[in-house]
């Protein structure tokens, strides 16, 4: 049986990923290592498929949220060090040790269980200890930090390879809060130094801090968003190329008279005779229903409005008098002719951030690598 291909697909440009990695490599300089964050299936771009390109272009490390994401990378032949950023469950520790994953540790019980798992497998598990300097999520508060480091140092089968923190608002032009977090992290570093503890990898910077707060680069930077060619705010410090385009083909076109109601709830009624194009993509694919009567797509190099409510599998577009035909290519994210639709434009319409837009694209959409 020949392969079925649906006429909705996401094109992921590996050239753009390579370009973005090289931009960051150049920006951070040779002394700093680059960790590419490929959690959530590479922010929707495909973790394994993009990881090869990232590594080939100068990425030293990968980071994921879940052990299972890392295991998939290992099974795909990725040998680079992988840091699991998220909280690992007690029953996932054996797998982490077996797959040589670097685990984030932020409390003593988990450290003891990991130590036991490592000893049982006769291995040394590398860990990075996380300090919460102001994100308020995973991580110990600075006051409790040194005692955990000392405890982990005393546990068999564990090696502290890194200490890190995470910024809560490094994308803000006002860096007051980020600098406060930075000072707290520096105090942790001094405290460790005064106890004679030396840590190979200190790290703090995400994409925004890497771009806008270079003094926080330290030994490595953890870059997610930027590697995929998206920016954390309006500033364009580096030239990054968006790697993902979302495309479909017109499934049906029909001419309708003025006064025709469109889609569930009839929230749009044509005000003149016009043509409606039916697109075979809907909210089950990650085209948010919030784009109903708000979003635009590109057809024949022209912006056309999404009209009526986006449905689970179909979306309607008012193409006016454009000579649109069944099979015409439609760009929902990406460029057509001189025009581009960015993930951040969808995000603005939806009251969210560009991160969520590409993560939202569901597994129904085939990723095509170019």
Catalytic (active-site) positions: 39, 264
Q: How many other β-carbons are positioned within 10 Å of the β-carbon of residue 237?
A: 16
Minimum CB–partner distance for residue 357 and ligand PLP (Å): 13
**Restricting to residues 318-357, which ones interact with ligand PLP according to CB under 6 A?**
none
Minimum CB–partner distance for residue 122 and ligand PLP (Å): 30
Among 207, 263, 274, 354, binds ligand PLP (CB under 6 A): 207
Query: What distance in Å separates the CA atoms of residue 272 and residue 262, rounded to the nearest whole number?
Result: 13
Tokens of 189: 């570093």
What string marks each residue from 228 to 257 as x (binds ligand PLP by CB under 6 A) or -?
Answer: ----x-------------------------
Beta strand 315-320 with 274-279 is antiparallel
Sequence-separated (6 or more) residues with CB below 8 Å from residue 8: 246, 247, 248, 280, 281, 285, 364, 365, 366
Query: What distance in Å separates the CA atoms of residue 88 and residue 134, rounded to the nearest whole number?
Result: 21
Looking at beta carbons only, is 172 or 260 nearer to ligand PLP? Answer: 172
222 part of the interface to ligand PLP, by CB under 6 A: yes
Measured from each CB, the residue nearest to ligand PLP is 224
Among 223, 333, 347, 365, binds ligand PLP (CB under 6 A): 223
Backbone angles phi, psi at 313, to 5 degrees: -120, -5
Reported in sequence order, the residue ranges of the chain that DSSP labels E, i.e. its strands, are 8-12, 33-37, 61-64, 82-84, 102-105, 125-130, 158-164, 201-203, 220-223, 244-249, 252-256, 261-262, 268-269, 274-279, 296-299, 302-307, 315-320, 329-336, 339-341, 366-369
Minimum CB–partner distance for residue 82 and ligand PLP (Å): 13
Minimum CB–partner distance for residue 1 and ligand PLP (Å): 40
Minimum CB–partner distance for residue 225 and ligand PLP (Å): 4
**Restricting to residues 83-102, which ones interact with ligand PLP according to CB under 6 A?**
85
Among 45, 126, 128, 166, binds ligand PLP (CB under 6 A): 166
Among 64, 218, 225, 279, binds ligand PLP (CB under 6 A): 225
Which window, 23-31, 70-78, 201-209, 286-294, contacts ligand PLP (CB under 6 A)? 201-209
Which residues, listed in sequence order, are joined to residue 63 by a DSSP beta bridge?
Answer: 37, 83
**Judging by beta carbons within 10 Å of its beta carbon (0-12, 13-18, 19+), is residue 138 exposed, middle or buried?**
middle
Looking at beta carbons only, is 167 or 268 nearer to ligand PLP? Answer: 167
Which residues of this protein are in contact with ligand PLP, per CB under 6 A? 37, 85, 166, 206-208, 222-226, 232
């Amino acid at each position: 049986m020949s392969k079925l291909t649906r006429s909705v697909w996401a094109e992921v440009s590996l050239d753009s990923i390579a370009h973005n990695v090289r931009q960051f490599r150049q920006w951070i300089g040779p002394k700093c290592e680059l960790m590419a964050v490929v959690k959530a299936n590479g922010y929707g771009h495909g973790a394994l498929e993009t990881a090869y390109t990232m590594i080939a272009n100068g990425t030293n490390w990968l980071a994921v949220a879940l052990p299972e994401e890392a295991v998939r990378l290992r099974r795909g032949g990725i040998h680079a060090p992988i840091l699991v950023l998220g909280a690992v469950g007690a029953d996932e520790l054996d797998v982490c040790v077996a797959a040589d994953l670097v685990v984030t540790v932020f409390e003593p019980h988990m450290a003891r269980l990991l130590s036991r798992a490592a000893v049982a497998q006769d291995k040394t598990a590398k860990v990075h200890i996380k300090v919460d300097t102001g994100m308020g999520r995973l991580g110990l508060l600075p006051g409790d930090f040194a005692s955990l480091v000392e405890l982990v140092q005393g546990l068999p089968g564990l090696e502290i390879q890194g200490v890190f923190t995470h910024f809560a608002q490094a994308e803000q032009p006002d860096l007051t809060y980020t600098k406060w977090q930075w000072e707290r992290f520096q105090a942790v570093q001094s405290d460790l130094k005064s106890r004679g503890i030396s840590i190979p990898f200190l790290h703090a910077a995400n994409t925004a801090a890497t771009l806008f707060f270079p003094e926080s680069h330290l030994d490595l930077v953890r870059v997610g968003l930027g590697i995929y060619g998206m920016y954390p705010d309006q500033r364009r410090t580096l030239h990054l190329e968006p790697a993902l385009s979302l495309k479909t083909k017109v499934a049906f076109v029909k001419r309708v008279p003025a006064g025709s109601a469109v889609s569930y709830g009839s929230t749009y009624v044509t005000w003149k005779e016009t043509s409606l194009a039916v697109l075979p993509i809907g909210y089950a694919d990650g085209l948010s229903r919030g784009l109903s009567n708000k979003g635009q797509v590109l057809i024949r190099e022209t912006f056309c409005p999404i009209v009526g409510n986006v449905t689970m599998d179909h979306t309607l577009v008012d193409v006016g008098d454009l000579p649109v035909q069944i099979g015409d290519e439609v760009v929902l994210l990406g460029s057509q002719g001189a025009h581009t639709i960015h993930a951040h434009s969808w995000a603005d319409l939806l009251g969210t951030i560009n991160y969520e837009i590409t993560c939202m694209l569901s597994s129904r959409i085939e990723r095509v690598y170019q």
